[in-house]
Structure formats: C-alpha cells, structure tokens
Amino acid sequence: MTLLILGLLLFLGAHSISIVNAPWRDRMHARLGEAGWKGVYSLVSLAGFVLIIYGYGAARMDPVVLYTPPMGLRHLAMLLLVPVFPRFLSTYLPGRIQRIARHPTLVATKLWALAHLLANGMLADVLLFGGFLAWAVADRISLKRRAPRALPALPAGMANDVIALVGGLALYAAFVFGLHGWLIGVAIIPG
C-alpha cells in the first residue's frame, strides 16, 4: 500500500503544481526551459505512474474490503465509461466535443474514476480512483482562477469529432473485450 500511496503522491503531486502554485510552476518553466521542465515533470510523473502500477498490483494481492458494490453498479459503471475515451481523445482533436466538455480530459478522468469507485470496493481502489477523482475535481475548480495554457492540437473541425468518437468507442470496445484483462489483469467480460 505504501508504494501505491507514494506513486499517487508523485504522480498527482506533479499534476497538481499548477493547482497549488501556478506562479512557481511558471518560474520553473522559465528557468529550465520547455524541454527541461517537461523532462523533470515527465520523469517525476513516470516514476509515480510506475509506483502506482506496482503498488496497486501488490495491494490487490492482500485486499482490504471497504464495501461490496451491488452488481447493478457494475452495469452503471460500464455505461459511465462509454464517453471516457472519446472525451480524452477530443482533448487533442478540437471540435464540438471539446468545446462542449470545455476540459475533456478532466471530464474523462472524473467519469473513469467514479465508474471504478462504483464497481470496486477495496481500499486500494478507493485510494487510486478516489485520489484521481479528487484531483480532477480540484483541478477543474482551480482552472476557474488560472490562465489557460495552449495544448498541442490539430486545427478544429468536425472531422476531429468523428475521429474522437469512432476512435474512442473503438478503444472502449477493445478494453471491454480483452485489453483491460491483458493490461490490468481483470477481465471485464470473463472468457
């Protein structure tokens, strides 16, 4: 559990710098330059991500049950997950989906985390998905007082919406029909 918590602190901590101290982030970006800042940020995030994966896997070997969700919540979770990949892809494919969602990655993260909290009741699940949900809510609130940063993206257009929708739904189907089991070790549809 310690590795999971450390990983969450590193990963979400790196992603929370702009939430808690945007001026410091901007000063460090100016001091290190674009490549230097992205390098440090990426290394800390990657270290956190690896610790999350390893720590979550280890915590699943010795589970602590907090609650047992009813089966119906698993079906609701599957429904909540349908728009996650299209929203995430629309972050970098500007169009109507991105414009309506305003912050599609945060919407996708909140839906992903909430769906997993509905379907899983172990302590490690609550730490992992609850941590991401709390971070996404805090980041969305903080965006109201921060200046937006430009993200690399293609020119806006309706084709981007089609790509985000079709690609996102294809990713969703791939996860449902095997990729989740292969990557995460938990099959959504038992085979």
Going by pLDDT thresholds of 50, 70 and 90, the confidence category of residue 191 is low
Mean of all residue pLDDT scores within the chain: 93
Per-residue model confidence as pLDDT tens digits over 63-89: 999 999 999 999 999 999 999 999 999
184 CB-contact burial (10 Å; exposed 0-12 / middle 13-18 / buried 19+): middle
pTM: 0.91
3-state secondary structure of 65: strand
Helices (H), the chain: 2-14, 17-61, 71-81, 84-90, 96-101, 104-119, 123-143, 158-174, 180-184
Per-residue model confidence as pLDDT tens digits over 125-178: 999 999 999 999 999 999 888 877 776 777 888 999 999 999 999 999 999 999
The DSSP symbol for 150 reads -
Q: Is the dihedral of CA 52, 136, 167, 34 positive or negative?
A: negative
Going by pLDDT thresholds of 50, 70 and 90, the confidence category of residue 187 is confident
3-state secondary structure of 94: coil
